[in-house]
Amino acid sequence: MAKVPVQFTLNGSEKAEFIDSGTTLLHALRDKIGDTSPKGGCHQGTCGACSVIIDGELRLSCLTLAETCNGAAITTTSGLSEGGVLHPLQHAFLDTFATQCGFCTPGMIMAAKVLLNHTPNPSRDDVVEALSGNVCRCTGYEPIIQAVLRAARANSQNAA
Amino acid sequence: MAIRRGRGVAAINYPTGMNLGGDPTQALVHSTPTGNFMVTLSSVDLGQGMKQIMAQICAETIGVPTDRVVVDTADTDTGPHCMGTFASRGTHRAGNAVIQAAKEARQVMLEVAAEELEVNASDLETDGQGNILVKGAPQKSISIFDVALSAHFKRGRSISGRGMFLIPRSYPEKETGAMKPSTCYAHACTVAEVEVDDETGEVTVLTVKNVFEIGRALNPKMVEQQLVGGSWMGISHALYETTEPYYPNRDHGGTDFNQYLMPGPGDLAETEIIVLERPSADGPYGAKGPGEMCANPQIPALANAVFDAVGVRIDTLPITPERILRALRAQAAN
């Protein structure tokens, strides 16, 4: 099968790859580019572990063809920290012990990031709604919800 | 037709580990040239936090900070023998093996330090911060870093230890059939409140209050995580999860994760966790196995709560709306 070129921005840096047509963004990110922060859970769009942010929107990278991402700006969890300093969401997840086995964590953080971008002061219901597409098999949802609420509070204190 | 409320209670005892042909786990501990310690195991961290707990246990025993310990959970081709990570046995079995290995390594470390300081090894103690001091004369000390360098480059000693923990096989007594399937039990009790819609059979879990007795909580925050998540997993087993809803008939089973019911963040009931610590006699620093038992008591508690609400006993899991409606119909027919 002929390779197709794809070019996008990943966490602020330009990426250009030749990929097989039909390659998912998840596969391209993990196996071509080497960013393993999006996780392959169900590969059918039900678990949310592969979530990434494409042009500001939460997307499932396992259901997104890489060749449709030409020119896009893609953010993954590995791009959140700056100069070795963790993003407030990452800090909040650490502080509230919101990761157990950790497999769902990157997807949860992506979903939470998009929520906080749109809704800086979310209610608990907002958080639950935003995370409802992400499965945690350790069933550790409560600390995850607490982490997102804590990150929102930290953000609003910084802004004030 | 109405929404009916019910409350159920259940208590469980849960054995730590298993007892088939004996239950062994082995651990090896050695120091690097810079005085960090390596724990080598074949026990796997499945995400339950084994590496963290083994690092804590090794650090506590040797007398160094936890971040000076690296845990390699290798594999069964290369690591020391372990039966595996299951039956809530990891902390208990591997932890005891790590204590034994770390004690032996600590002894060598103190012997080398004694030679460097020209004192008896029995007169030395550790400060937990990476130094070895003479008891009663703390100004006379040496860092574990320097002890390791000395052992490796000057004295030709390997600061290392071997640990083996074995729960031997217990055979039943011929007369009575009595046996000792486990040496260490964790305990739990759950009270659950539900609403059952007797028209649709739908169960809504209102509250789940749990008490867990787990020996000593070696890492209280990680224990809390396990218990909170496990409590919900128990509810999930009771009400949702199955691959074969009409077992032994295989029909209508889910074929992928799309069709496998699992709780999401919106399905959380009000959950309360209380931890009781009664250190076990044979556990590492008093620990028991809190792993699997924390997802057990919710299941009978919910079955009892459903009975309290609508008067039917569901004895097949999961307790689906269909099973409740069929039982209600059978009850009405009688």
CATH number for the domain spanning A95: value is 1.10.150.120
pLDDT in tens, A23-68: 999 999 999 999 999 999 999 999 999 999 999 999 999 999 999 9
Which of A42, A102, A135 is facing B264, going by the closest CB pair? A135
Q: Distance from A46 to chain B by nearest Cα, in Å? A: 6
CB atoms within 10 A of CB B331: 12
pLDDT in tens, B39-86: 999 988 888 899 999 999 999 999 999 999 999 987 778 889 999 889
Q: Answer yes or no: is B220 within a domain.
A: yes
| Per-residue DSSP letter, B200 | T
Residues 6+ apart with CB under 8 A from B316: B323
- Span B139-160, average pLDDT: 97
A108 and A61 co-located in one domain: no
**Which of B207, B257, B270 would best serve as a mutation to test chain A binding (most A beta carbons within 10 A)?**
B257
Size of interface A-B (CB pairs under 8 A): 69
- Which element (helix H / strand E) includes B13? strand B3-15
Residue of A nearest to B237 (CA): A139
pLDDT in tens, B281-326: 999 999 999 889 999 999 999 999 999 999 999 999 999 999 999 9
Residue B61 CA, chain-centre distance (Å), reads 20
A32 and A63 co-located in one domain: yes
A67 and A109 co-located in one domain: no
Is the distance from CB of A111 to CB of A144 less than 8 angstroms? no
| Per-residue DSSP letter, B94 | I
Alpha carbon distance B54, B44 (integer Å): 11
Give the pLDDT of residue B3. 97
Alpha carbon distance A75, A15 (integer Å): 12
A62 and A102 co-located in one domain: no
Considering its fold, how many domains does chain A have in total?
2
Dmax (CA) for chain B in angstroms is 89
Full domain range(s) for residue A11: 3-79
- Span B142-158, average pLDDT: 97
Residue B279 φ/ψ region, left for φ over 0, alpha for ψ in the -120 to 50 degree band, beta for the rest: beta
B116 and B143 co-located in one domain: yes
Q: What is the pTM of this model?
A: 0.91
CB contact under 8 A, A139 and B226: no
Mark out the alpha helices in chain B (DSSP H runs).
50-62, 95-117, 144-149, 220-239, 298-310, 321-333
Considering its fold, how many domains does chain B have in total?
2
Dmax (CA) for chain A in angstroms is 55
CATH code of residue A41: 3.10.20.30
Residue B11: phi and psi, rounded to 5, are: -130, 145
CB contact under 8 A, A139 and B271: no
B11 and B35 co-located in one domain: no
Alpha carbon distance B305, B310 (integer Å): 9
Q: Using CB atoms within 10 Å of the CB of residue B20, give its burial: 0 to 12 exposed, 13 to 18 middle, 19+ buried.
A: exposed
- Which element (helix H / strand E) includes B167? strand B160-167
Which of A46, A100, A137 is facing B225, going by the closest CB pair? A100
CB contact under 8 A, B265 and A144: yes
CB contact under 8 A, A46 and B258: yes
A59 and A27 co-located in one domain: yes
Is the distance from CB of B83 to CB of B24 less than 8 angstroms? yes
Residue of A nearest to B236 (CA): A139
SS3 of B32-72: the string is: CCCCCEEEECCCCCCCCCHHHHHHHHHHHHHCCCHHHEEEE
Alpha carbon distance B218, B275 (integer Å): 12
Alpha carbon distance B189, B297 (integer Å): 6
Please name which of A38, A42, A138, A41 lies closest in space to residue A80, comparing C-alpha atoms.
A38
Query: In this complex, is the C-beta atom of B255 within 8 Å of any C-beta atom belonging to chain A?
Result: no
A21 and A75 co-located in one domain: yes
Instruction: State whether residue B202 is helix, strand or coil.
Output: coil
